[in-house]
Amino acid sequence: MKEYLDLLFKKEKKPITIDKIFSSVEKMLLRDKPDCVFSIDEKKKILEFLDIGLQAYEYYETPDKKYTLLSKSPYRVGTYYSNANDGGTVIIENSYYDRDGKYVVYEKKYMIDSKHKQEAIDGDKVLIELLEDDNARVVKVVHRNLYNIIGVITREKDLFFLNPLDRKKKGITICLEEKDLVDGAIALVSLENTSSTNFYRGTVEKYFNQKDDPQEDAYLLAVKCGMPVGFSKESLEQLKSIQMVVTEEDKVGRYDFTDWEIFSIDGASTKDKDDCISYKKLPNGHSLLGAHIEDSPAHIPTNSPIHKDAFIKGTSYYFGGGVEPMLPRKLSNGICSLFDGVERLTKSTLIEYDENGEVVHKELVKGVIHSKIGMTYEKVNEIFHSGIIAPEYEEFVPTLYDMKDFALLLRKKRAQEGSLIINKPEVYFI
């Protein structure tokens, strides 16, 4: 039913009444299914999809109860980014297929004056009304992902407040629940929104060391630069229900790689392992390379609290002395890490190359692996450069040399095709 609604709204140039929606959809439905009866149930479905579209800001309802696509109205939904002038920019992502069938994504930006930003703060999803010359005003905050924040505790008479370190969050008021807090202390506070968009009650979760501490200083600096911290209460609650072992039900419909010679190679300090590799010489002289990437979506449903938190962060944030993970550590260092000796779910890419390094076949499959060993770059390089073989690596040495020869073949081919080979030192924080 929704496809009929979308088709109708795209065709109609002006907003239309609900009666016209019913009659037009009925005609389209009977055209495709002549034996269909347009009953009250079909009307209920139309109303349901219409309501869902309105809530998702896909459709727009005029003051006189007519309907159209939001994109045909003077309103849009986008993400608000604040600037130094107390105003901001709303960025809206659009997409379309060009004549060649290529999917094209582009951004449209609208300037928001400080007097038109309402209660929006950096990162909010907002509904805007278009003005002249690519300017707009914020109508309402549609969604905000704010649940933890770091700031300085300040006292005003008998009340304590938190002054956010992130200057882009200065527009919110945070009243702290506890009494007898330390005025001037830096703390991580969990938030609970109360009466309005920009008023919160907060609970201190952690104090930061007031003395010089390089690791904490680096963390606080990252927060000042806009690094999102922590996870929502809903995410932490969801975490309790996620199993930390692969079950037989999880493996249904997946390719079984558990008897393959698969292993990981990472830095010695790596805590979470998100990829493994495999390599086979085929009877026809070809090479079969496998890249096995940890399948997080198998454990984290789309639009679930953890997925939403991860989407907002976009990545894990690495800084001097620490990391703010994209996923809760229980996941990133647990079921979502490809440790050796245990079964894990993967998205696996299998690529077959001929003797010249040309790809002859490739496929992407969902798999189950059982990594045989977690290697380090340092020990693998010792094998190649010094002939020093750690006892646990001995059975894998023939495969490692085959992989090295194959890697050199691909590197030579890339260089011949114009690729730059740039060697540069890796920087470590000490």
Model pLDDT, residue 170:
79
CA distance 102 to 93: 16
Q: Is-contact 229 146, C-beta < 8 A?
A: no
Of residues 293 and 177, more confidence is placed in 293
**Are residues 154 and 160 in contact, defined by beta-carbon separation less than 8 angstroms?**
yes
What mean pLDDT, rounded, does the chain reach?
88
Residue 282 CB-density burial (10 A; 0-12 exposed, 13-18 middle, 19+ buried): exposed
Which of the four pLDDT bands, split at 50, 70 and 90, describes residue 1? confident
Residue 90: the pLDDT is 94
Q: Report H helices in 229-279.
A: 233-239
pLDDT (0 to 100) of residue 226: 73
In the chain, what percentage of residues exceed pLDDT 70? 98
Read off the pLDDT of residues 336-393 as tens digits, 9 standing for 90 and up.
Answer: 999 999 999 999 999 999 999 999 999 999 999 999 999 999 999 999 999 999 999 9
First to last CA, the chain: 60
pLDDT of amino acid 196: 67
Average pLDDT over residues 253-257: 95
391-403 confidence digits (pLDDT tens) = 999 999 999 999 9
Identify the pLDDT of residue 211.
Answer: 63
pTM of the full structure:
0.67
Is the pLDDT reported for residue 242 higher than 80?
A: yes
Taking only the tens place, the pLDDT of each residue in 140-197 is: 998 887 888 888 999 988 899 999 988 888 788 999 988 788 888 888 888 887 666 7
